Amino acid sequence: MKASNVPNLPGESVRGVAWLSSFLRDKLQGDPLLRSIAIRGEVSNCKVSAYGNLNFALTEGTALLQCFAWEDDFLAFPEFKNGAKIVALGSISTYPQRSTYQLVVERVRLEGLGDVHQLFEERKKRLAAEGLFDAARKRALPAFPFRVALVSSKRSEGATDFLTRLRQLRPHVRVEWCETSVQGPNAPAEIVGAIGRAAQLDVDLIVVTRGGGSFEDLFTFSDESVVRAIARARHPVISAVGHTVDQQLADFAADLHAETPSAAAERVGSETRALRERLEDRVRRARGAASRNLERLESRLGRSLTRSKLDDVTLFLLPQQQLLEDAGERLDAGATVFLRTRRERIARLGERLARFDPRLALANRGRRLAETSARLERAARERLRRAELRVRTASATLNGNDPAAILQKGYAIVTLGGRIVREPDEVPIGASIDARVARGTLSARVESKRRQGTTDGNERSG
């Protein structure tokens, strides 16, 4: 910034922040009236620090006084909690680091329950008697929500915490804002209106939340109209008001009370992860079943090809062809039934999940299942092609060993009386024999015979 050219005023004196803090402290502590003073008020935000000292506030209407007590002093105090009316005796001092003044309390006297907490307890008993807090009327949260109505202020830290955690855990969940103020005299009516707007939306549940604050700040959510609006809401309601163990009446009326806005986000769709794991398990099982079915069909096809009737060459080709066709039909039928069953099962799962519409995840699963189905069909066709190739190869081999084919090469089959002749000794000299050649039969009379490997051992007729 540019330095100011305004000259110093006559008699002007410039002081530092530390000087002013010390000056005000000395002024307060030097006033005899403030060195020992008794203050009556209602206790709020009472808590013990990590060092063992006590911090709390005294309120009266909209006025608030911060109080502090050393551990040695407050251990002698009578027991009290938020909402209690007390008289605190001590001295006024300052806290320079925050530019605040406070009452350093030395003694405490109890006087009863504060107005705000007394109203809270009376209202709680009356609404509980009406059954608004009964566990029997509370509804279960939807297992797989996809749209949530958020009743809060966009400036609320609680709403920010809820949205941040929800995006981390359930990025597919859509949030519909029903904005309202969460503090002030008009807040109860605005919250009731926001809950009414949420009830008109197509959502799965409603979340009512805000950030932390004093008991008085949060008391808006103990307003009777807010409590009744939550109790009659059309959708299940999660209440996450503040970051404190002190519950407001809205927490008792809601279907679920979450300690913090982040905890509320964790309870939205907590079963989604389990569903994803079940789907992945079903996909793994489907792939395993398909693999086992293909192995079983391949084994059956292999056994069919190895069981041939080689003793009867003329009957071999037809039965093997029939076995191949049957195996192919069974393979096609099995693959078709398997794929149809899986498709139907996937379709049923898809119909069930369509109500919850995890669009991106289920689209990816469906695409991968379709690719798996295509691979199974291609694998089945490849198995059939290989089987047919084996049959054609076997057929060519058998044709090469066919007796008719051997006769084409110039060989003859010799028979005597219809019986095939294998040894010369089986035919007497002078007998008539038949020789079957490729295109007919020759008849002949045996003039001589000779065993293989002899040259002059011929036998002739007498």
Query: Contacts from 446-452 at CB under 8 Å and sequence distance 24+?
Result: 449/424, 449/425, 450/424, 451/424, 451/425
In 3D space, the residue among 101, 96, 86, 81 whose CA is nearest the CA of residue 34 turns out to be: 101
| pTM, two decimal places | 0.43
**Domains of the chain by residue range:** 17-113, 119-267, 273-401, 402-462
Token output for 239: 């209440």
The SS3 of residue 370 is helix
pLDDT, residue 320, reads 62
pLDDT per residue as tens, the chain (462 positions):
555 555 555 556 888 888 888 888 888 877 877 888 889 898 888 888 888 899 999 998 888 999 999 998 888 888 888 888 888 999 888 887 777 889 999 988 877 656 677 778 888 898 988 888 898 889 988 888 889 999 999 888 889 999 999 998 888 889 999 999 988 888 899 999 999 999 899 999 999 998 877 777 788 888 889 999 999 999 999 998 876 666 888 889 899 988 889 888 888 887 666 666 777 788 888 888 888 888 888 887 776 666 545 445 554 555 566 677 777 778 878 878 888 888 888 878 777 766 666 666 667 777 888 888 888 888 888 888 888 888 888 877 777 667 777 777 778 888 988 888 888 888 888 888 888 887 888 888 888 888 776 555 555 443
pLDDT, residue 462, reads 39
Q: Exposed e or buried b for every residue in 417-456, given b needs 16+ CB within 10 A?
A: eeeebeeeeebeeeeebbebeeeeeeeeebeebeeeeeee
How far is the C-alpha of 436 from the C-alpha of 408, rounded, in Å?
A: 11
- Chain position carrying tokens 């006033």: 31
How far is the C-alpha of 64 from the C-alpha of 119, rounded, in Å?
A: 19
Burial (CB < 10 A; 0-12, 13-18, 19+), residue 295, is exposed
Architecture of domain 17-113: Beta Barrel (2.40)
Token output for 62: 């909209």
Strand 174-179, strand 100-113: pairing: unpaired
How far is the C-alpha of 432 from the C-alpha of 262, rounded, in Å?
A: 111
Token output for 208: 């009512």
Which DSSP string do the residues of 269-295 spell out, in sequence order? TTTHHHHHHHHHHHHHHHHHHHHHHHH
- Compute the half-sphere exposure of residue 348: CA atoms within 13 Å on the CB side of its CA: 6
How is residue 449 annotated by DSSP?
Answer: B
Asked if 198 and 232 touch (Cβ cutoff 8 Å), the reply is no
Torsion-angle region of residue 92: left (phi > 0), alpha (psi -120 to 50) or beta?
A: beta
The amino acid occupying position 446 is V
In 3D space, the residue among 162, 166, 192 whose CA is nearest the CA of residue 180 turns out to be: 192
User: Who's near 244: CB < 8 A, 6+ residues apart?
Assistant: 212, 218
The amino acid occupying position 424 is P
CA 143 to each of CA 13, 146, 168, 252: distance values in angstroms, whole numbers, following the listed order:
69, 10, 18, 22
- Chain position carrying tokens 């002190």: 246
Give the helix/strand (H/E) hosting 435: strand 432-437
**Sheet arrangement for strand 237-241:** 174-179, 147-152, 205-210, 237-241, 256-257
Asked if 256 and 275 touch (Cβ cutoff 8 Å), the reply is no
CA 54 to each of CA 40, 70, 284: distance values in angstroms, whole numbers, following the listed order:
17, 7, 59
The amino acid occupying position 457 is G
Asked if 207 and 240 touch (Cβ cutoff 8 Å), the reply is yes
In 3D space, the residue among 54, 53, 51, 104 whose CA is nearest the CA of residue 80 turns out to be: 54
Asked if 225 and 189 touch (Cβ cutoff 8 Å), the reply is yes
The SS3 of residue 379 is helix
- Compute the half-sphere exposure of residue 65: CA atoms within 13 Å on the CB side of its CA: 23
How far is the C-alpha of 17 from the C-alpha of 88, rounded, in Å?
A: 30
What is the maximal distance between C-alpha atoms in the chain?
174
Strand 147-152, strand 174-179: pairing: parallel
Token output for 172: 């597919």
Kindly report the number of other CB atoms within 10 A of residue 13's CB atom.
Answer: 6
Superfamily of domain 119-267: Response regulator (3.40.50.2300)
How far is the C-alpha of 358 from the C-alpha of 363, rounded, in Å?
A: 8
